[in-house]
Chains A and B, each alone.
Chain A
C-alpha cells in the first residue's frame, strides 16, 4: 500500500517534470544601464508565475554580437525558441528562411491579436511585410536630445527652451562650451556619438535634413547613401567638432556619452531614450529632454529590438514561447520596463496604468520620446544589415575624423553597399 502511494507520488512528480518546458531566449543590451539585470529579473518573475516553464536566458552582448550568436545557432541547426533582435533584421532573417510570422497564432489567440493592435503603429513599421507580422516590439526607443538645465542657466539660456533647429543647436552649443584660462575645454556644448557599427543617429540627422537612408519601396535592396541629406548629416557632425569646436574631436563613443553627460562634461547629447534611466540615476543636476532639432523637418528613426519566432525550434514549445512573449510585451511589464530603463512602453495600454501615469508626472522627460513617435520613420531595413551598417558607419567616421571629403566618402560607401547587397538583390 505504502509502496503504491510512493509510486503514485513519484508518478505525479515525474509527470510534473515531463511537463516542464525549457525555452531558450537570447537578448541584447544596447544602451546605458544595468539592463541585463532587469531582464533577468523579469524572466524570474515569469518563471515564478509559470512554474512549468523554464527560460534559459542568453545575454548575447550588444545588438551586433547578439545577432551574430543567434545566426550562428540557427546555422548550427539549433535555433533559439525566441530572441530579441533589431527590428531592422527582418530581411536578413527572411533571407535565411529563419523566422515565422505571428499571423497563424494571432488567428487562434485573441489576446495576441489584441496585443498586436495595441502597439504604437510607429513601432510596428519595421515588423510588417506584405501584411504579415514578423516581430513584436520589446525594447523600443527613439533618439532624443538630453540637455543640462543647470548649464543652460549658467550660459544665460532659458532652460525651458531647448534648441529647435540645427542652427540653434550650434548657437547654443557655442555658448555652452566652457574653456579654462589655458583654453582647455571644461565642458563641450554638444556630443552626437558615432557608434562603431550603427547608423542610427546618422539616420536621424538624414531625416531631419529631409532625406531617408533607404528607399521604402526598395524591398530591402535600396540604400541611399550618396544623397544630399546624408552628405549634410555627415558634414554637420564633422563641423560640430572641426569647424565650431563645440564637440569633442574624434569618434565619440556611443557607450560612454551618457556618462559624460551625467558627469557634466557635455551640456547636450543625442542618445537613445533607453538611456534615460541611467541619466536619471547618475546626473546630479536638473536635465531636460526634447525633440531632436530640425534642419527642414523634425524626425528620427524608431530604434530598438523585437521578439522573433524561429523556424526549426520545437513546435511543442510554441505555446510556452508565446506565453513568454505575451508576458514580456504585456502592458504591465512594458510599463515597468519603461520605468526601469527609459525605453518607451510600446503598448498604448501601458500609458493608462497608474504606475505609468505617476512616473510620467514625476519624470515628464519620459514623454518626449513617445510624442516624437508622431514624426518617426522606420529604421533602415535591408539585407546584409550589419555589413551595410559597418560600411556607412565607417564612411561617417572618416568624415567626422576629417579623413575623407564627404562627397568621396558617400560615393565610395554607396558603391560598397551596392556590392554587399548584390547577392540578395539581383532583380
Chain B
C-alpha cells in the first residue's frame, strides 16, 4: 500500500498537460464559441438529433446490458461449448465497428441472405424505413458492446459466494427466483458500472451510422455526434456544431457528477 510521498504530484504533470490541452481547454473553447449560438439550438433538426440520441441510449443501454448479463449467466462454467460461445460473443468488441457494420450492408440489402427472415417480419428494406434503420443501427451497437459487458458480469458473478445462492435454493426459491432475489442484487455494483459504460457508449459510438444510414432516412438515425460531424465538417457551420458539442459535453459532465462519487468508491477502496 502506498504511503503518501512528498511531491508525488509532479509525476502527474505529463498527464495533466495533455488533459488540459486536449480535454479541458477544448471544453472551454467549445463553451466560449458555442454559447452565443445556443439560441439556434432549438431548430427542429437539432431537436430531432437530441431525440434520436436519447432514444438510441434508451434502447441500446438496457439491451446491451441485458444481453451482456444473459450471456454471462449462460456461459458461466467450463464446458467447451460455453468457452467457445464466450469468444464468439466477445469477438465483435475487438473488431472495427466500420467493418462490423459494413457486413450489415450485405446482410440487410434487399437481396441479402436475411431476406426470408426480413420478409417474414415485413421488413424487406429495413434501411429504407426510419424505424428499421434506427433499429438496425441500434442492434449493431448492442451486439458490438454486449461482449464486453458479459466480461464484467462474469467477473461480478465470481465474487458472489456460491453459498448465498445455494442457501436461497434450499429455502425453496427456484432458479429464476434466486437469480432475481440474490444474484442480481449482489451484482448491482457491476450493473451500475456497466450502465455508465453503456451510456457513454451510446453517446459516443456512431461509426456504424457513417457506414449504414448517414443519419437518414428522414433523420431517423441523425445522432447528435453524427450531426456534429455533418454540421462541422460538411457544412462548415462551426458555431452550430459547437453548440451541439456543448450540449453533448454538458450531458456528459452531468453524468460524471452523478456517477463519479459512486464509481470512485470502486476505484478507491480496492486492493
Contact = CB atoms under 8 A, between A and B. Distances in A.
Touching chains A and B, CB distance < 8 Å: yes
Interface of A: 64, 67-68, 71-72, 75, 184, 194, 196-197, 248-253, 256, 259-260, 263, 265, 384, 386-387, 394, 397-398, 401, 403
Given A397-B216, A401-B217, A252 B128 contact: yes
8 residue pairs, one from A and one from B, having the closest CB atoms: A250-B128, A251-B128, A251-B217, A250-B129, A196-B216, A397-B218, A68-B234, A397-B217
Contacts of B219: 394
Contacts of A253: 110, 125, 127-128
A394 B235 CA distance: 16
A250 B111 contact: no
Contacts of B124: 248
Given A184-B119, A248-B124, A256 B130 contact: no
Contacts of B32: none
Given A259-B111, A401-B130, A71 B236 contact: yes
Secondary structure call for the B interface: loop
Contacts of B119: 184
Given A75-B236, A251-B216, A397-B217, A263 B111 contact: yes
Contact of A64 (B217, B218, B234): B234
A212 B109 CA distance: 33
Interface in B85-142: 109-111, 119, 124-125, 127-130, 132
A153 B217 CA distance: 36
Contacts of A184: 119
Contacts of B214: 196-197
Which of B110, B124, B219 is most buried by chain A, counting CB atoms within 10 A of its CB?
B110
20 contacts: A68-B233, A196-B213, A197-B214, A248-B124, A251-B218, A252-B128, A253-B128, A260-B111, A263-B111, A265-B110, A386-B235, A387-B235, A394-B218, A394-B219, A397-B216, A397-B217, A397-B218, A401-B217, A403-B130, A403-B218
Given A251-B129, A403-B130, 14 more contacts: A184-B119, A196-B216, A197-B214, A249-B125, A250-B129, A251-B128, A253-B127, A256-B109, A259-B109, A260-B110, A265-B111, A386-B234, A397-B217, A403-B218
A249 B130 CA distance: 12
A273 to B, nearest CB: 23
Nearest to B215: A196
Contacts of A403: 130, 218
Contacts, number: 65
A288 B259 CA distance: 64
Contacts of A252: 125, 128
Interface residues of B, number: 21
Nearest to B237: A387
Contact of A256 (B110, B132, B234, B235): B110
A403 B236 CA distance: 29
B84 to A, nearest CB: 35
A384 B217 contact: no
Nearest to B126: A250
Nearest to B235: A387
Given A260-B111, A263-B111, A387-B235, A394 B216 contact: yes
A412 to B, nearest CB: 8
A387 B45 CA distance: 12
Contacts of B236: 71, 75
Contacts of B217: 194, 196, 250-251, 397, 401
Nearest to A396: B218
Contacts of B234: 64, 67-68, 386
Interface in B30-75: none
Nearest to A263: B111
A250 B216 contact: no
A250 B128 CA distance: 5
Contacts of A71: 236
A248 B214 CA distance: 21
Contacts of B132: 250
A184 B132 CA distance: 19
Contacts of A394: 216, 218-219
B73 to A, nearest CB: 38
A72 B125 contact: no
Nearest to A393: B216
Contacts of A263: 111
A402 to B, nearest CB: 11
B131 to A, nearest CB: 10
A282 to B, nearest CB: 11
A267 to B, nearest CB: 15
Nearest to A68: B234
B235 A248 contact: no
Interface in B213-248: 213-214, 216-219, 233-236
A194 B216 CA distance: 11
B199 to A, nearest CB: 29
Contacts of B213: 196
A72 B110 contact: no
B54 to A, nearest CB: 19
Nearest to B222: A394
A9 B65 CA distance: 69
Contact of A248 (B111, B125, B127, B216): B125
Nearest to A248: B125
A421 to B, nearest CB: 12
A67 B128 CA distance: 24
Max count, chain A CB within 10 A of own CB: residue among B217, B235, B236: B217
Contacts of A68: 233-234
Nearest to B48: A394
